[in-house]
A and B are shown apart, each in its own frame.
Chain A
């Protein structure tokens, strides 16, 4: 028998999973990681559904942000980058979207997460700082550094992200 809680959870997943998955992909840059990230966040939401069922999306998104950074910290201990950190993207990749995808992949998870929250989720600096439990000044400086690195990594994105921060 399906309980009211389960029905509510199912409705939330059906309605919001696609949007959550898109954010997860931008955060991770990897399809499978994004899927895992969403599932982990939904798992936590299911565990605490009674407490969060009135506004589950904020909870799930926050869980995704923190989980992604946590995963990255673990992966950092076991994986080495294959490319120089600030190497420019392949000049043959002329497609803007591909350039953006590759450039995002070369940002640190913190930089990437801040960019996603600021420019995809449309959060203010204060909201971003609160969501990531950072100071506002850290969000500002991280945003500035992330955009600067994107300009270096993919000069063709200059029009997209502006000439300066």
Chain B
């Protein structure tokens, strides 16, 4: 059967005559070149999509990688502080913080990721320790759920120390100030109409009351306690300091001033020290009177008056501070190398200003869509080939 059928099929096919097409080779090679170009473009698109999606997906994002700025990856103070509204958190174990913001509630900025963490506690007299691992605030008085307490949260463990200050009798706290070693917290306030103060050692914990008036003075002593950076009373043309003789135990001291640069602050400025970077450099919030060019307070680091005037330096490094930003982990400021261009803060990008953290989902999805489109295109080209 098959032989007959084959013969008949062959005879049927031979009824047709065909003419060769001499252009097949040229057309084929042109098609090959076009296909190669298209495939190359598609491959590039896929690579770009993959790289883009991967970069967005694995981007360290808010984790500060800015070289020296982040102190070997331990975090940094953000270059922009713009808190927005968001949900409250109840877990204090957020890790190291860089900035504390007071006000109606307490807000902390993560040192390593720049994220904002809100806590439903009163932001009264908020003080972030220089190392960024503890934050302290006053409960607000007896009428509050915690009673009249100074509360200190350990941001590594999430534990909260509720300290009954002033030997348990409490006091209206006006300021809380950490010593440079981040273990002692000085409170200042008023109790029964008179000034009161005390020094809390959080490692004990224990409290040294201000029996001899040693702690009554506001301000932040340097690590050697030889100088105390004082807040100014209103706008001044020189930052106030106390120079404390070593044999006086830091009780009182000689008032010394450190002139502000007149070119920057011709009308003076309010100076509120927030810490010491080292024995010779103070960090302070500088708040000049509002003008056409000055809108907000800014953070500056400058030499203390004990440094020879010929070596004085002054550098603003965090402009446009919101009024709620009052306390900073100054240990996160890198060692000053004398370079005026040295980065002292880190740009965390969207994360620092975003309530929900970095929203990469749309970008990652977009990248994946582009990737799938590229793969589909490649498959189509392969099929055509």
Contacts and interface: CB of A to CB of B under 8 A. Distances in A.
A100 B9 contact: yes
Interface stretch (A9-17, A71-79, A82-90, A134-142): A9-17
Interface string A1-12: 000001001100
A8 B160 CA distance: 85
A45 interface: yes
B28 A46 contact: yes
A119 B2 contact: yes
B248 interface: no
B35 A47 contact: yes
A13 B16 contact: no
B361 interface: no
A93 interface: no
Interface in B1-54: 1-2, 4-6, 8-16, 18, 20-21, 24-25, 27-29, 31-32, 35
Given A97-B11, A160-B4, A161-B5, A46 B18 contact: no
B11 A119 contact: no
B18 A47 contact: no
A25 B27 contact: no
B9 A43 contact: no
Contacts of A160: 1, 4-5, 8
Given A17-B18, A23-B13, A43 B24 contact: yes
A43 B16 contact: no
Interface residues of B, number: 26
B385 interface: yes
Nearest to B34: A47
Given A22-B10, A100-B12, A119-B6, A17 B20 contact: yes
B9 A116 contact: yes
Interface string B212-239: 0000000000000000000000000000
B352 to A, nearest CB: 54
Nearest to A42: B24
Question: Which size class do A's interface residues fall under?
Answer: 35 or more
A114 interface: no
Contact of B12 (A6, A46, A97): A97
A44 interface: yes
Contacts of A49: 28
B1 A47 contact: no
B8 A100 contact: yes
B29 A14 contact: no
A26 B13 contact: yes
Contacts of A6: 25
A96 B8 contact: yes
Contact of A42 (B5, B9, B28, B29): B28
Contacts of A122: 2, 6
Nearest to A101: B12
Contacts of B27: 43, 46
B338 to A, nearest CB: 65
Contact of A38 (B10, B15, B18): B18
Nearest to A10: B25
Contacts of B21: 39, 42
6 smallest CB-CB distances across A and B, nearest first, come from: A46-B28, A22-B13, A21-B18, A162-B1, A47-B32, A42-B24
6 contacts: A17-B18, A46-B25, A46-B27, A97-B15, A120-B10, A120-B13
